[in-house]
Structure 1
Amino acid sequence: MSATKVFVITGANSGVGFELAKILYAANAKVYLAGRSEKRVLEAIQLLQNDVPSSQGSLIWLPLDLADLASVKIAAEDFLSKEERLDVLWNNAGVMCTPTTAKSEQVMFWTLSLGYDLQLGTNVLGPYLLTTLLYPIMKKTADTSPLNSVRVCWASSITIELAPNGGIGMDDFGSPVFSNNKLTNYCASKAANNMLASEFGKKCRDGKVLSVVCENKSLLLPFRSQSCSYADTCSVKAFNPGNLNTGLTRYLTLPFLGSIVPRLMSLVLWPARYGAYTELYAGLSPDLTIEKHVGAFIWPWGHVGYLRPDIESSLHSQEDGGSGKAAQLLKWCDREIKDFI
């Protein structure tokens, strides 16, 4: 891999993002590790440099708090002041099952209440703003790069199988509806990323940038239904190996088990590096093309999967027989980030 290629990974100081950064750095890439904590990111950079001392690449901290849209704008401006190209953006970072009382920084314009649900802000709106702000430089990079090589990768999860009907609830004003159940909210936020990968991907297609979504952060849901006759990809393994041992489960609790759940799950989960293989495939595999794979859902450890029929319907307009929820969500996101563009 040429060291001239430039990559951004959000949440790269630990878990899947860290392992992805290690693989790219070992291939002499220039990698921006985007994250909130200077201490944690710099410690991660030191570990990576120690692990791969022969690398001719570079590792750079990009300060970023996805729960704060002002921080996202500053991060994008910081990156754009330093670079003239961006080959792949991995929207890897996210939070899971945070308390429903936890909020993002910004006021929700449509209700004037104090902050978005933290999972909505961190997993959906923050990555969307970052992608929107960095899209022009990706489009510019695509103009002088091989077709299909410039990409944006969004993070989803097998837990979208537990998402509400259509993936995410929308009210009569076209705004997402989140519940008092933190797991349901997480599942909805991941399904929303499938929608953004598809809908924003239509714009990306025009700029020769491929937009796909990865399944890489999952709860312990080991089996997929064999009754999924709606998908030609169901002939692949019913067993889902995408359950990863990362810090994402730190907020997860279950009745009678409490906070011991993450420790129990760590005994049966795959190492985070396996999730990095999925993201690597999504970001770099020549198998994926703009012609065929805009919004494609990439399963572990690197093949194209399928969506639940009602979520798939959300990706299509009502004129095309779908529900049009993806277009509604994109319109809402555009409305919410307009003061930061």
Structure 2
Amino acid sequence: MSNFNPLTDIPSLTGKVAIVTGGNRGMGFHISQQLANHGAKVYIAARSESSAMEAIRRIESENSATKNSVFYLNLDLSTLKGAQEAGKIFSQSESRLDILIHNAGLMSHPYAQTADGLEDTFAVNHLAPFVLTKGLLPTLLSTAKDPNADVSSEIHPQAPEGGKIFTVDEINSPCASPMFRDWLKGRYARYARSKLANILFAKQLQKEFDASSVPALAISINPGGVATDTVLNNMGSVVLFGPLLRFLVGRLAKTPLEGAATALFAATSPQVRAQSKDFAGAYLIPYGKPTLGSKDSQDVKLAEKLWKASDEISAAVLNK
């Protein structure tokens, strides 16, 4: 909760296996580092091998006990095939997966589509993690002992009302008129749309766990305002007020380690396991408080519909 300190409050994770997407920088780096520092075998899933290896060298140099416990997993979330391949590679080398933390993602930026023909923020933040998780689901279910966490965001209430995330046309909507699609309103609406999907995905994933009668937990989290390089660079791109916003965020927002605390709480805290009924499918705000999100994020029918739509859309892309 509010007094959770990742440096001291994470229990021994010896024997646990974890994947952290985007674990090579920002909050993801600190999540990977703390999991490794407390005994877990950690896979940093990222597109850049050089960046991931640099992160691994830094973790090992700051704590020699982590040597040979942190590994690189190639993960390209810009294509659904890349996400699928990462799941296959991991499953061929590991028989268990205790912790899966979806940390990697895109923030607000100009409208673009992936090579799969999907709006990139939604594809990278939801559809690719959906494909990765489904590929890892057999391993997660067979392990079924520790939490499974998704990173969400406090901005999700700004998503278009009613979801509108169930067809390729809806997903590819720029959420603004052509003239204004790359202004802040359109950019953040697309980002919010993907974050709403994260919360709904976690809720439905929890139902999948429950249906399989395993004690696994799916949790979505909002890390709060965090001064990561991605956030600061995004602030700096704002016309006129960019430098001022970057300065203020850098001074007032949480550090990446502080931002990592909620995800680490969800993934490791004994309190979460002890109070599993309170945390199953929950949406957490810093530093681990279950709370209600927007009306749409609480809609179980939307969660079911999103799972089905994500399954159909990803299958269509992967079967091409």
TM-score by length of 2: 0.84
Please tell me whether residue 9 in structure 1 is matched to residue 13 in structure 2.
Answer: no
CA distance in 2, matches of 1:31, 1:245: 24
CA distance in 1, matches of 2:20, 2:36: 12
Q: Secondary structure at the match of 2:271?
A: coil
Please tell me whether residue 50 in structure 1 is matched to residue 58 in structure 2.
Answer: no
1:268 to 249, 252, 257: 252
1:246 aligns with 228
2:133 aligns with 131
| Alignment check: 8 A CA contact 1:104 1:121 kept | yes
CA distance in 1, matches of 2:41, 2:166: 43
CA distance in 2, matches of 1:334, 1:160: 22
CA distance in 2, matches of 1:136, 1:172: 27
1:20 aligns with 31
Residue deviations 1:176-207, cap 9 Å, x none?
45413111100111011001000122002233
CA distance in 1, matches of 2:76, 2:17: 21
Q: Secondary structure at the match of 1:8?
A: strand
Point out which structure has higher relative CO (alpha carbons under 8 A, 6+ apart): 2
| Alignment check: 8 A CA contact 1:175 1:332 kept | no
| Alignment check: 8 A CA contact 1:98 1:118 kept | no
Q: When the two structures are aligned, how many residues end up with a matched partner?
A: 291
Q: Secondary structure at the match of 1:65?
A: coil
| Alignment check: 8 A CA contact 2:168 2:313 kept | no
Shift of 1:171: 6.5
Residue deviations 1:283-340, cap 9 Å, x none?
122333554433200111122122123432x2x2xxxxxxx22222111100122254
CA distance in 2, matches of 1:45, 1:170: 36
2:198 aligns with 193
CA distance in 2, matches of 1:259, 1:66: 30
1:33 aligns with 44
RMSD: 2.2
Structure 1: segments with no counterpart, 5+ residues: 107-114, 143-148, 217-241, 317-323
| Alignment check: 8 A CA contact 1:97 1:185 kept | yes
Structure 2: segments with no counterpart, 5+ residues: 1-11, 176-180
Matches within 5 A, 1:204-243: 204-207=209-212, 208=214, 209-216=216-223, 242-243=224-225
2:164 to 164, 169, 174: 169
CA distance in 1, matches of 2:208, 2:266: 18
Q: Secondary structure at the match of 1:267?
A: helix
The answer to which structure has the higher helix fraction is 2
Please tell me whether residue 155 in structure 1 is matched to residue 151 in structure 2.
Answer: yes
CA distance in 1, matches of 2:308, 2:169: 8
Deviates more, 1:288-297 or 1:188-197: 288-297
